[in-house]
A = this chain, B = another copy of it.
Amino acid sequence: MLVVMQEGAPESQVQNVIDRLVMMGFTVHRSTGVTHTVLGGVGPLETFDPAEFEVLDGVQECHRIVSPYKLANKRFRPQGTVIEIGSVKIGGPEVIVMAGPCSVESEEQIEITASLVAKAGAKVIRGGAFKPRSSPYSFQGMGEAGLKVLRAAADRNGLLVVSEVMDRSQIALLTEYSDILQVGARNMQNFNLLRDLGLSRKPVLLKRGIAATIEELLLSAEYIMSGGNYQVILCERGIRTFETATRNTMDISAIPVLKQLTHLPVIGDPSHGVGKRTLVPAMARATVAAGGDGLIIEVHHDPDHALSDGAQSLFPEQFAELMGQLRLIASAVGRSIAG
């Protein structure tokens, strides 16, 4: 940590800061410049809040210089993490596409969708079994019955399953039916949930919160990893900005930024990122062009009658056409897509 003292800060204030740093276990290196005294502190872990030092008398500003995440840091595994689930490898040369409806509505729906997306080249089927909605009066999901339907359709079509865990109490259930446990944007900082997922041995798909910085996303990944579960897939799905033409603003630049900072795989969710079907293909293509390791896309065999998020779900034929374009783009950036 670097503590920059104010111009002309008296020696007593400098000593007070040094005492405080030593008390917290830092080794202190002092550098007296023409205008500012700068204190460098080296400690075992930089997890304190720099604001704690910025309120001390005579302190101008304070900077952490050691990254607050260790296990998620690129340096920890410069070669990158490849998550292998059966024959599917996430984070390798192949761009992995996950597709399916927002929520599981019926056996027929899932069987039709699974078959369609598998044929188009997807490797994982998505679908929510629990859908607590922002209105207390909306459809709330099929629960365990939905998970069974998802599992069966996936097995019949050679797909993996990804489904969302909303709450600690659902981890055991989801673990039984799903290959990847999804943490939604609203739960990105549900630290109790993250801690329990750290004890799981299932890969976790961690979505960025709509107001979360990239650093906060990595700290949440660190939370899971610190429990021993290193199989974390990061997902950009749009942040909240002043623009209202799209539901969120999908931060495509988060993809190359994350690829520089971490070894974990990074995918994009264009369906939630923009929230309108007509914009989804463009953003899916942008995700792959920007270096994403995968995509999670909402596809519904009959979106006009979907019980949730129909407006952002692709028609099956749109999805198939998109997959063709994605294959070309993947090869332009030295990757591939199955099919």
Contacts and interface: CB of A to CB of B under 8 A. Distances in A.
Contact of A256 (B260, B283, B304): B283
A177 interface: no
B65 A4 contact: yes
Interface of A: 2, 4, 7, 20, 27, 29, 31, 33-36, 38, 40, 42, 45, 47-49, 51-52, 54-56, 60-61, 63, 65-66, 68, 75, 132-138, 166-169, 186-187, 189-192, 195, 209-211, 213-216, 219-220, 222-223, 226-227, 239-247, 249-257, 260, 273-279, 282-283, 285-291, 303-304, 309-312, 325, 328-329, 331-333
Q: How many copies of this chain does one complex carry?
A: 4
A4 to B, nearest CB: 5
Interface centre among A42, A187, A245, A309 (most CB of B within 10 A): A245
Contacts of A333: 285, 325
A124 B61 CA distance: 34
Contact of A52 (B187, B278, B311): B311
Contact of A61 (B65, B213, B329, B331): B65
Given A2-B4, A211-B210, A255-B282, A289 B291 contact: no
Q: Which of A31, A166, A227, A329 has the most CB of B within 10 A?
A: A329
A139 to B, nearest CB: 10
Contact of A137 (B45, B215, B257): B45
A132 to B, nearest CB: 3
A51 B275 contact: yes
A333 B195 CA distance: 43
A303 B51 CA distance: 12
B329 A289 contact: yes
Contact of A285 (B2, B226, B289): B289
A288 B332 CA distance: 12
A245 B276 contact: no
A291 B322 CA distance: 13
Given A252-B283, A286-B289, 14 more contacts: A49-B309, A49-B311, A51-B311, A51-B312, A52-B311, A132-B191, A132-B195, A136-B222, A166-B192, A211-B240, A243-B254, A246-B253, A285-B289, A289-B329
A213 B242 contact: yes
